[in-house]
Amino acid sequence: MIELAGTLEALLFLSADPLPASALADAVGLEEDEAVEALQALAASLDEQGRGIVLRELSGGWQLSSHPEAEDAARRLLAKPRTPPLTPAQAETLAIVAYLQPVSRPEIARIRGVNAESAAQTLIERGMIEEAGRSQFGAVLYRTTDLFLRLFGLRAVDELPDVTAWDPTPEVAANIRERLLRAGEARLGVPAAAAPAEGREGEAPAEPAEPEPGGEPEAAGEGEPAPVIPIA
């Protein structure tokens, strides 16, 4: 008869998604805290034995995955067309959603300085962000998904790196400050700077007041102060 660790390992192997400790506890007839202790012991045992699989706590659950050091060999074995990496535009959009969620597409466009529709749609198609209701003006709000947490090895969004610890170059800091000021001006109804924003990835410049179907543009007048992000 296999021991508790072996049973948990078998259950984890059967699931393609992270399993909550509560579900595993019910399956093996334990209290949840006892199941958590057993899972932690299993994770430590796999690590100590130098096994090719590791047990990680991700996105509110536990999941078996291949050891990071086996990645190169796995890629050679399973060589096939890879999903293309995120473009700079998509990475910027994802970062804004991750740190400011829930956030609307017009707000993303104001911060980036270019239209965010294409980047946001691609992130939705890849399962990294999803709709999270609508703002008071009818604009669709976006948030990150459980897949985002798994891909970035996070248990929750509060484990994201602290933006105040980032130390950008003076040029990058000035560029970010200018774009945030324009976003704040748009929210407060102050005319934006006359200089046009430079687009990326072939995207069109953002419209200052982009309407969403069935709602008003998410521009000035929301009654909220502009967000302030410390810049070193």
Report how far residue 127's alpha carbon sits from residue 73's, in angstroms, rounded to the nearest whole number.
27
pLDDT of residue 94: 94
One fold for both 4-69 and 88-188?
yes
pLDDT of residue 194: 42
Q: Concatenate the DSSP letters of all residues of 132-175 into one string.
A: EEE-TTSPEEEEE-HHHHHHTT-SSGGGSPPGGG----HHHHHH
pLDDT-based confidence at residue 212 (cuts at 50, 70, 90): very low
Residues above pLDDT 70, as percent of the chain:
77
Report how far residue 224's alpha carbon sits from residue 135's, in angstroms, rounded to the nearest whole number.
13
Tens-digit pLDDT profile for residues 106-139 = 899 888 888 888 999 999 999 999 999 998 888 8
> Which sequence spans correspond to the domains of the chain?
4-69, 88-188
pLDDT of residue 76: 81
Angle between helices 21-28 and 32-48 (to 10 degrees): 100
Tens-digit pLDDT profile for residues 180-200 = 777 667 666 655 444 344 444
Are the C-beta atoms of 129 and 123 separated by less than 8 Å?
yes
Look at 35-39, 125-129, 199-203 and tell me which has the smallest mean pLDDT: 199-203
Query: In CATH terms, is domain 4-69 a member of 3.30.450.40?
Result: no
CB-count burial class (<10 Å; 0-12, 13-18, 19+) for 184 = middle
Two tokens, residue 205: 């410049």
Instruction: Give the closest residue to 67 by CA, choosing from 81, 51, 80.
Output: 51
For residues 67-94, give the mean pLDDT: 84
Instruction: Give every CB contact of residue 227 below 8 A, 6+ residues apart in sequence.
Output: 100, 180, 183, 184
Tens-digit pLDDT profile for residues 49-65 = 888 999 998 878 999 98
Report how far residue 128's alpha carbon sits from residue 133's, in angstroms, rounded to the nearest whole number.
16
Extract long-range pairs of 160-167: CB within 8 Å, 24+ residues apart. Answer: 160/98, 160/99, 163/99, 163/229, 163/230, 164/230, 164/232, 166/232, 167/232
Q: How far apart are the first and last CA of the chain?
A: 59
pLDDT of residue 232: 39
pLDDT of residue 170: 83
For residues 154-158, give the mean pLDDT: 87
| Topology adopted by domain 88-188 | Arc Repressor Mutant, subunit A (1.10.10)
